[in-house]
Structure 1
């Protein structure tokens, strides 16, 4: 057994995020592990840029209202307890609703992340569907 010392909370870089977001690295596995786990907290309206993960990503919504969109799809409004998976290579973004803070646990493998352009205000405000419909 190992008690892992966590690094301090870090502000998410403006290069990859719009608005204010912070993350806590909960786990970054050492070879042969590829596991990664971050708790990410978003201020209202904050969001990631478009990106994809080489082996996919799973989000567990902890608090607030999350907005998540895959390229070409509608914006999905997710709520605490919802689990959203994006498969390997699928371009997507995620962030907080405009009027709520949001926190999610992000789970993925490897640091193979392709960061793309920032999400436009029109994309962010696009048509929504809810997991609570």
Structure 2
């Protein structure tokens, strides 16, 4: 009797899943997925537009001349333009967003993308207008400096990226 009941449940779940659209299934899956790392603390340092959060993962120490953190951007959130005196690596862990170097077109970034940012290249990164995005940032130090923060990305610059 227990086997017949289990089979009935499996058949019902398969039937209901088959009746759902791909978008409904994606929404169910996304709602049940947990982020790789906790969201962390809201960034209030003035270097971000919109809601962005940082979860430090590994501070600079005697063994490593870099810091690692997970950054979560709410939809529409982004960094200011900035540079890194010894470069940075981004590993996108969820969502959809943008990476743009000054004078170049913005590049769409999604889960699994790895962006190797050379030293002193002016750039910004963040979520798309409609999606949140999280990435792991590995940021190298030169002396005591790991970032040089510049001006905010304008709404016009951001809108151009989101039209691509």
| Interval of TM-score (by shorter of Structure 1 and Structure 2) | 0.7 to 0.9
**Aligned with 1:20 (options 48, 51, 69):** 51
Q: CA shift at 1:66, angstroms? A: 1.6
CA distance in 2, matches of 1:72, 1:48: 17
Q: SS where residue 100 of structure 1 aligns?
A: coil
**Aligned with 1:122 (options 156, 159, 162):** 156
Return the structure number with greater relative CO, CA threshold 8 A, min gap 6.
1
CA distance in 1, matches of 2:161, 2:78: 16
Larger Rg: 2
Gaps of at least 5 residues in structure 2 are 1-38
CA distance in 2, matches of 1:32, 1:105: 19
Give the strand-richer structure, 1 or 2: 1
CA contact (8 A) 2:128 2:162 kept: no
Give the helix-richer structure, 1 or 2: 2
**Aligned with 2:62 (options 13, 28, 31):** 31
TM-score relative to the length of structure 1: 0.85
**Aligned with 1:59 (options 90, 99, 104):** 90
- String of CA shifts for 1:11-67, please: whole Å, max 9, x gaps: 112510000000100011213521211100000000000000011011111101021
CA distance in 1, matches of 2:129, 2:163: 15
CA contact (8 A) 1:74 1:128 kept: no
CA RMSD of aligned residues (A): 1.9
Which stretch shows the higher mean deviation, 43-52 or 103-112?
Answer: 103-112
**Aligned with 1:48 (options 50, 70, 79):** 79
Matched residue pairs, number?
A: 123
**Stretches (4+) displaced over 4 A:** 127-130
